[in-house]
Chains A and B, each alone.
Chain A
Amino acid sequence: MIKLDRRNFLKGAGAGSATCALATMLPGSLAALEKEPLKAVGKEVASICEMCSTRCPISARVVDGKNVFISGNKEAKSFGGKVCARGGAGHSLLYDPQRIVNPLKRVGERGEGKWAEISWDEAYEMMSTNLNRIKREHGPEAVAFSSKKGSLSGHFFHLAKAFGSPNTFTHGSLCPGAYVIAAKSMFGTKLKRDLGNSKYIINFGHNIYEGINMSETRGMMKAQSERGAKLVVFEPRFSVVADKADEWHAVRPGTDVAVALALCHVLITDKLYDQAFVERYVVGFDAFAAEVKAYTPEWAEGITDVKAKDIRRIAYELAAAAPHAVVDFGHRATFTTEEFDMRRAIFAANVLIGNIERKGGLYLGKKAKTYNKFAGETVAPKLAKPGVEGMPKPTAKRIDQMDKQYTMVWKNGGVYQSILAATLEAKPYQLRGWVMSRTNPMQTMTDRAKVLEALKKMEFVAVCDVYISETAAYADLILPESTYLERDEEIADKSGKNPAYYVRQRVVETIGNTKPSWQIFKEVGDALGLSKFYPWENMETLQLAQMNRDGKALRHIREKGYVSYGKPLMLREPSMVAKFIDTYANARTPDDDGTYASALKFKTPSGKIELSSAAVEAFAPGRGVIQYRDAPLKRADELYFIQGKVAVHTNGATHNVPILANLMADNAVWIHPVTAGRLGINHGDAIRLTSSVGSETSYAMVTPGIRQDTVFAYMGFGSKNKELIRASGKGLHCGNLLPDSTAPVVGMNLHTTGVKVEKV
């Protein structure tokens, strides 16, 4: 047995006396636990990382009983067997003395920071007493359930459904929601990017060299370094992706849509677009072309500060590289209130160069059902979705369901921030309870002051997390989840150009009194009297059910950790189709041109790509056709305030993890030398940023790598609750400066605003 006694571990965790004392005083934390040996489950376990939502396949090992060394799982080729800094620091989270390993209940005022350890039974009792009371007196819809998607969130939302509340939210409206909805409105489904094979990549601030998405980051770097791809980046800041680009254009914040539309204009007007593709697969082209006539590069230059001749030249270069070229539709879609049309304009540019299902372009994921059909045989086992019969149907409408324009948002994560109005103004009705899992709206939702008010007004707040995050600090009840290194989960679908499955498996035994969240929510369900909706006992049962009782296939996946089935397939790429039919004797017969072009269908009302959408026009009048709308983001006397991701942290989640906090503890503000000079600010000076909703202090980092009218700070810092000793009070809190906002049609928060900057 590998022994790790408390002294070694605390020494290893670098406990300076102050750190140690505070950590020890925090009830329910790992530091308060008696010494426990580290029990490893195996020598090298394949699992899935959860330090960010990329969820890379990992291979984790126990070394000398002290650290777990984490690298990538080599079975997953596109991930290359690699992990980033956050992935490698998983064990630092696992053994952080600050981790909460016992349920806690609030004993002071909400947010006062006074906690008492309680048993799980007591915790469940609290849940049932409070939630059932609210249900009895005000209906289950008075409780909102929010969780980051992925991992075990399915179990959380199952609980919400069993409870009867329609008010379920993911973090979609705080980050990626808009591009998903834009894709679904145009293609009926999400699309993926084939960056690795692209010869020409246009990128609108999608910084995958800092906001690392492993296979995409690797793919794009390979394309750039080995395959001669050209990268053009439009971003207000000189980020790492801007540095690696062949061209960087410092576009005015929030105006990327004008560039995208101008590119479409040139492609259409100068007849550079793939006419055959448009004729075959697209409806609504004429309406779009008519609209886009006015969006000349000269028009765009006035709005965006990108030179017209550059836009024109880039459009020509894009067309020349087509179809093995791509306009990256991004990830965080919160630059402007016009995100719906921005992302649609970007998708439109791709459609115009006909890169759908072509190498280096965009494609639809090939899950087992589709792939097997093309192959004419069962290449990949189908992943069953075990469901439960007789789930209750909520009678009330969702709080964001009153406005029809958000029709597409209701089934894509909801308008998360609508919780605020529902709580503070009872619009459309009063919310009284908020149950959260793996979400930190105090950091990730805009307008911190409002979120704080809402939390304070709630009658009951329960949070499931691994730390007392800035949000959990305002809970009545904290349910400590086991970290990802301690839990088994269902098999996940990681299909891309061909089917692939992988599974999260525990690397070490459970620490402290934590439980995996699937178990927590099942037991909460039991406590709420909802046991009949939880017919499974353990994770193995679920996994077997997913594999249709095929024990051999399940064992294979658990052994390898990641299994890829078949060869990559893109329907309109002749070489790939040729390889495909070579491999599968019973494969579907290709068309005359050697592709599966005729099989390319879209789940839209017309079955085709809807460049202009009648469906959207129906629920959001005036929005059917992509259009440019002015979206003022700041006052004339203010500077733009924008944020971004950094390679060593994940959004608002990792700032207390020891190894990562030691790499970067705060976020000095980027400010241009001319602007700084005008304000009398020198590098390293203390400065104050003031917006319409809040004020934050930080330090100035004077750099030419930012527009003169813009300031930038990395997001996720400045948590103000004392429980996060490594993160508390360090850096600037971005959410505190951003006003509450809900974009048309896509319901997104807005992360661009105006600030005044002054020396402190």
Chain B
Amino acid sequence: MNNIWGDMAQYDPVTWNWVIAVYLFMAGLSAGSVLIGIGMRWYSKDNKTESPILKAAAIVGPVAISLGLACLVFDLTKPFHFWLILINYNFQSVMAIGVLALLAYSPLGIAYGLIVLRDELPKWGLGFLSPIAEMLLGWRKVIEVLLFILAIGVGAYTGFLISAMNAYPMLNTAVLPALFLVSGLSAGAAANSVVALLMFKVDSHDKELSRMHALELPVMATEIMFLFMLFCALYFKGGAAAVALASLTSGVWAGVFWIGVVGIGFGIPLLSMLMPAATRHTKGAMLMVACSGLTGVLALRHFILYAGQSYIY
């Protein structure tokens, strides 16, 4: 029958677009960076120096989340009414809980950044903030612990946010929050490398840096495992869910997945491990591997968001 009922464009199941994918990336990046920074500090038990990794995390954390939040606000259809979401809460909604978490995480992240970078502040012309940093220093342990916990929340909550929607078989899965958290760690480590190498001129053979790199393979392996679980779940659920597996074989998002997520995001870092140690540890090689990792996580967010929304039950 001819279409006599009007335009169906509004029924396109893909509701959230690339701006949200970027936000998801930024949230995961911020959380992962902070988790790695603080985690490594606790592991090293060195309370005297602020390691370059931690300093990197102190920048990446707040900056990434601020950029992400800016994306969020501008994606709203009523951006100038964003404050409504700060004063009205429906605690059944993952987004409302996320707002609360971010309301706490963001200032804490900035506070922690001030603490960690208190020696850099004067060098960057932000000397007027030093008194605040000194004052916050007394609260360091509390802030650190809170920030760490909130970072886990922020890293995982975007996964919960999306998986709460039972309309989409590819998204409505328990693995998603775990996948987002782990890929956030991966992105965080990569970003920390880049900032540490470029901004804090850390030596490519730095011990902390190497310790962080040692995390990369296990994190990547976990990520691949979670992806595998996600696709298996779809396959075994059958019906409309199994149809979503077409996203791996056809359409533009299949390309994004295999080239972006797997090829660049996993492939280049893995291949780099075959390089001779000397090459591997050059600044250039490390930057390239880190950027590939970041690209891969960005591609993953896009793939999950777009391909995930394309298939409905």
Q: Which residue numbers of A lie inside 8 Å of B, CB to CB?
A: 646-648, 662-664, 667-668, 701, 703, 714
Among B4-12, B19-27, B300-308, the one that faces the other chain is B4-12
Residues of B within 8 A of A663 (CB): 4-6
Contact between A664 and B2 (Cβ–Cβ < 8 Å)?
A: yes
Tell me, in angstroms, the Cα distance from A703 to B1 when the chains sit together. 8
Q: Pick from B4, B6, B7: contact of A646, CB below 8 A.
A: B4
B1-42 near A? 1/0 per residue, CB < 8 Å: 111111100000000000000000000000000000000000
With both chains docked as a complex, state the minimum distance between the C-beta of A141 and any C-beta of chain B, in angstroms.
44
Contact between B2 and A662 (Cβ–Cβ < 8 Å)?
A: no
Contact between A667 and B6 (Cβ–Cβ < 8 Å)?
A: no
Tell me, in angstroms, the Cα distance from A646 to B2 when the chains sit together. 10
Residues of B within 8 A of A662 (CB): 6-7
Residue of B nearest to A713 (CB): B2
Contact between A664 and B4 (Cβ–Cβ < 8 Å)?
A: yes
Contact between A647 and B2 (Cβ–Cβ < 8 Å)?
A: no
Tell me, in angstroms, the Cα distance from A664 to B5 when the chains sit together. 7
Task: Give the dominant DSSP class at B's interface.
Answer: loop
With both chains docked as a complex, state the minimum distance between the C-beta of A696 and any C-beta of chain B, in angstroms.
16
Residue of A nearest to B4 (CB): A664
Residues of B within 8 A of A668 (CB): 2
If A648-B4, A664-B6, A667-B2 are given as contacts, then 10 extra A-B residue pairs at C-beta distance below 8 Å, sorted by A number, are: A646-B2, A646-B4, A647-B4, A662-B6, A662-B7, A663-B5, A663-B6, A664-B2, A703-B1, A714-B2
Tell me, in angstroms, the Cα distance from A662 to B5 when the chains sit together. 8
Residues of A within 8 A of B2 (CB): 646, 664, 667-668, 701, 714
Number of interface residues of B (CB under 8 A): 7
Contact between A664 and B7 (Cβ–Cβ < 8 Å)?
A: no
Q: List 10 A-B contacts (CB under 8 A).
A: A646-B2, A646-B4, A648-B4, A662-B6, A662-B7, A663-B6, A664-B6, A667-B2, A668-B2, A701-B2
Tell me, in angstroms, the Cα distance from A663 to B2 when the chains sit together. 10
Tell me, in angstroms, the Cα distance from A667 to B5 when the chains sit together. 13
Q: Shortest 9 CB-CB distances between A and B: which pairs?
A: A664-B4, A663-B6, A648-B4, A668-B2, A662-B6, A663-B4, A646-B4, A663-B5, A667-B2
Residues of A within 8 A of B5 (CB): 663
Residues of A within 8 A of B7 (CB): 662
Tell me, in angstroms, the Cα distance from A662 to B6 when the chains sit together. 6
Residue of B nearest to A85 (CB): B4
Residue of A nearest to B3 (CB): A664
With both chains docked as a complex, state the minimum distance between the C-beta of A662 and any C-beta of chain B, in angstroms.
6
Residues of B within 8 A of A714 (CB): 2
Q: Which of B156-190 contact A (CB under 8 A)?
A: none
Tell me, in angstroms, the Cα distance from A648 to B3 when the chains sit together. 11
With both chains docked as a complex, state the minimum distance between the C-beta of A227 and any C-beta of chain B, in angstroms.
27
Tell me, in angstroms, the Cα distance from A410 to B192 when the chains sit together. 93
With both chains docked as a complex, state the minimum distance between the C-beta of B202 and any C-beta of chain A, in angstroms.
55
Tell me, in angstroms, the Cα distance from A667 to B6 when the chains sit together. 13
Tell me, in angstroms, the Cα distance from A668 to B3 when the chains sit together. 9
Tell me, in angstroms, the Cα distance from A213 to B7 when the chains sit together. 26
Residues of A within 8 A of B1 (CB): 703
Tell me, in angstroms, the Cα distance from A298 to B2 when the chains sit together. 36
Residue of B nearest to A665 (CB): B3
With both chains docked as a complex, state the minimum distance between the C-beta of A626 and any C-beta of chain B, in angstroms.
36
With both chains docked as a complex, state the minimum distance between the C-beta of A16 and any C-beta of chain B, in angstroms.
13
Residues of B within 8 A of A648 (CB): 4
With both chains docked as a complex, state the minimum distance between the C-beta of A578 and any C-beta of chain B, in angstroms.
45
B217-249 near A? 1/0 per residue, CB < 8 Å: 000000000000000000000000000000000
Tell me, in angstroms, the Cα distance from A663 to B4 when the chains sit together. 5
Tell me, in angstroms, the Cα distance from A714 to B1 when the chains sit together. 11
With both chains docked as a complex, state the minimum distance between the C-beta of B1 and any C-beta of chain A, in angstroms.
8
Tell me, in angstroms, the Cα distance from A137 to B129 when the chains sit together. 100
With both chains docked as a complex, state the minimum distance between the C-beta of A266 and any C-beta of chain B, in angstroms.
35
Residues of B within 8 A of A701 (CB): 2
Tell me, in angstroms, the Cα distance from A314 to B123 when the chains sit together. 99
Tell me, in angstroms, the Cα distance from A714 to B2 when the chains sit together. 9
With both chains docked as a complex, state the minimum distance between the C-beta of B192 and any C-beta of chain A, in angstroms.
49
With both chains docked as a complex, state the minimum distance between the C-beta of A243 and any C-beta of chain B, in angstroms.
9
